Amino acid sequence: TQLLEQSPQFLSIQEGENLTVYCNSSSVFSSLQWYRQEPGEGPVLLVTVVTGGEVKKLKRLTFQFGDARKDSSLHITAAQPGDTGLYLCAGAVTSGTYKYIFGTGTRLKVLA
Amino acid sequence: KAGVTQTPRYLIKTRGQQVTLSCSPISGHRSVSWYQQTPGQGLQFLFEYFSETQRNKGNFPGRFSGRQFSNSRSEMNVSTLELGDSALYLCASSSVGRGDIMNTEAFFGQGTRLTVV
């Protein structure tokens, strides 16, 4: 069974601080996605990383896919209250089946 | 274009009852996936339908079932409800063909919050 563990589970920081969220697995994924979910809403896709070692930037957010495609990280620079939400990673399973396995989630709160 | 629409948004049922949830995907999307989200277990995959066929299934009991219609709209049914079925049920649609999942974006609806009492 493929599992994606995210750490930390909860994070409360002050506006302007930097943070990193980790997504780890013992399984190899064909690709990995990061989503953000706000209260009362469904998750919204932030980025997809496909190649081992790939780094993608989205404004203040930097996403990295591990060389072995088993882990990923999300780094936020100068966090803002608008970054508050539940961050989910999702790994694509393509051997025998086609689906995404979601991580356990990191709940981020950025205080003004 | 319109996003993914799930109905109803909120639902309260009693143990032993059954429930049907509905999902209208984005126009042109043929793949619909269902997920259960709870604070303790996170987002767990239920099943996925593509062109009216169940293509993938998660590890849920047979009480959870679904179907997809020719217009890609999908329904999920849970029979003999248990307290532990209380959760946010999310539907996601995508345009993916079978071999294109790697770069597929799933568009989620707002979910149906089911409370079993």
Q: Tell me whether residue A13 is exposed, middle or buried, using C-beta atoms within 10 angstroms of its C-beta: 0 to 12, 13 to 18, 19 or more.
A: middle
First to last CA, chain A: 40
**Cβ <8 Å between A43 and B108:** yes
pLDDT at B67 over 90: yes
Across chain A, mean pLDDT equals: 91
- Higher pLDDT: B117 or A30? It is B117
Pairing label, strands B10-13, B112-116: parallel
Size of interface A-B (CB pairs under 8 A): 63
Residue A98: band (very low, low, confident or very high) from pLDDT cuts 50, 70, 90: low
**Cβ <8 Å between A102 and B33:** no
**Cβ <8 Å between A104 and B56:** no
Closest chain A C-alpha to B17 CA, distance in angstroms: 25
Q: Write the pLDDT tens digit of every residue in B11-32.
A: 999 999 999 999 999 999 988 9
Q: Coil, strand or helix: which one is A36? A: strand
Measure the CA dihedral B106/B110/B111/B117, to 10°.
Answer: 160
**Cβ <8 Å between B43 and A50:** no
pLDDT value of position B14:
98
Taking CB atoms and an 8 Å cutoff, what residues of chain A touch B90?
A: 42-43
pLDDT at B86 over 90: yes
Residue A70: band (very low, low, confident or very high) from pLDDT cuts 50, 70, 90: very high
The whole-angstrom separation of Cα B117 and Cα B98 is 39
Taking CB atoms and an 8 Å cutoff, what residues of chain B touch A43?
A: 43, 90, 108
pLDDT value of position B116:
98
**Cβ <8 Å between A40 and B110:** yes
Residue A97: closest CA among chain B residues belongs to which residue? B56
Closest chain A C-alpha to B18 CA, distance in angstroms: 24
- Higher pLDDT: B59 or B76? It is B76
pLDDT value of position B57:
87
Closest chain A C-alpha to B75 CA, distance in angstroms: 17
